[in-house]
Structure 1
């Protein structure tokens, strides 16, 4: 485990050096993936790394967990509350859609959630530009394969150090790095709405996705769900297409 961590840390340093930047930052949500990345970038750049906490209609527990992550690795931190920014922006958009009689109530929840993710992305890049840092993402192999991230939201990053690691491997690295047990063992959630959990939304479990990625046999129902998500989200893992020349 120590070797794996050191390999990622060295890779992070190399990427930052090649980009000619001063350091690295990550959005700290209070979940396990961002906790691991916070620890990794602190190791890579002890004096030039930053964890950004961005509450936006968030569960107060998530902020407390994010603070525990910051304390556990000793990384510098910044809090930018996006609640009011989101309220004004989303409210104005919905008002205009209603005025034009094109508002789709069925899409409101996901539009609301995706805007929050994209406001966080914009915030991270604004802060990163200020510091001359790269934005480090938190998607693991399971999330990347299934497309379980917001396009140009939490998927809008410069580096994805966990992209080859299953959720189980991320959990093992978290334990090694000293991420608080409360965060290691919490139910994975993007915190998009009250009671939302990743596994309920996907219809399968991270364990099933991990096993599928490792080539193991899983129930056909789960395999179909995973492959359908992978196919449906292909556009998230490629650059925007253009017509043939």
Structure 2
């Protein structure tokens, strides 16, 4: 049994179901179309293409939402994708919102406390976590300083600073969602999300940020399936080959360095095997990992899932007796 083949066996059918899902909910919610935040990444590219195929380009609106730490390629690839598909779009920088809340200043203070050598004029920064496949399972996050494309230092964050930093960074996704809803409500459109199943299972989204949407067409598609959809839809090769990232750090940080902490094909095979209760021998044969490493990775994934439970669940309601 090839796990990757099992994951990707119904790509054309998946594309058809997603297209129908988008159209059905636009109709059910009595909306005219969808707004999509176009990041230059593979998830939004796949959703944009499928939405255009089912709703028509005139009923799809793209938003480019850069800020000063975004990679320039994000905006360029997003704009090129919209132009290729004939989708109307607008660029709305969120930097003024973040500056008004002093997000950059607060972030810089934490980095300077962690990295005394940090110089914002010469260093770019990223937040990383150790691999779940390494022998050392210590999950202490680190700030990485990059100069002229080379990593020059890596300093561990204190727990308090890490929590503050995550809260600061999450304002970026929440600011983007504010803008998307402003445009959606103005045009009587739905806000169409781009979170996939891998991200959902890991809690890899920001509550009321990129997770605060009206519909999630990719919510039952592993990231591996999104890549298969991109190939089917003939998405721009540069987008397909670009390392996925939340794109919120000045040094472009891939999801593999922080969220997945392992190659995506390994992560998806582990998640799929967990969902389908596959025996460890099948996992070993497919991933070429030892049983010890597989068990370590599974414990790490379980820990991530437990920590993100509040993100993936709806707000609890206090029900009163009638």
Q: What's the TM-score, normalizing by structure 2?
A: 0.69
The answer for the alignment partner of 1:99 in structure 2 is none
**Residues 142 and 206 in structure 1, CA contact (< 8 A), matched pair in contact too:** no
Distance, in Å, in 1 between the alignment partners of 2:269 and 2:103 is 42
Deviation readout 1:122-151 (Å, 9 max, x if unpaired): 110010001100011111110000001111
Partner of 1:83: 95
Q: In structure 2, list runs of 5 or more residues that go unmatched.
A: 1-10, 107-159, 285-293
Matched, 1:208 2:266: yes
Conserved 8 A contact 1:208-1:222: no
> For structure 1, which segment, 148-157 or 78-87, has the greater mean C-alpha deviation from structure 2 after superposition?
78-87
Native 8 Å contact 1:12 1:161 kept in 2: yes
Partner residue of 1:55?
Answer: 66
Aligned length: 239
Distance in 1 (CA, whole Å) between partners of 2:196 and 2:318 is 31
Rounded to whole Å, the distance in 2 between the matches of 1:92 and 1:64 is 23
Q: Which structure: larger Rg?
A: 2
Provide the secondary structure at the position in 1 that maps to 2:210.
coil
| 2:84 alignment partner, one of 72, 81, 89 | 72
Over the residues paired in the alignment, what is the CA RMSD in angstroms?
2.3
Q: Which moved more, 1:60-69 or 1:155-164?
A: 60-69
Q: Is 1:197 equivalent to 2:254 in the alignment?
A: yes
* TM-score w.r.t. length of structure 1: 0.90
Please, which runs of 5 or more residues in structure 1 have no aligned partner?
95-103
Which has more helix, going by share of residues? 1
Number of the residue aligned with 1:44: 54
**CA shift at 1:232, angstroms?**
1.1
Counterparts of 1:204 and 1:92, CA distance in 2: 29
Using the TM superposition, give the Cα deviation of residue 192 of structure 1 relative to its aligned residue in structure 2, in angstroms: 1.4
Alignment of 1:1-245 (within 5 A): 1-46=11-56, 47-57=58-68, 58-91=70-103, 105-193=161-249, 194-202=251-259, 203-215=261-273, 216=278, 217=283, 219-243=294-318, 245=320
Between 1:13-22 and 1:187-196, the stretch displaced more is: 187-196
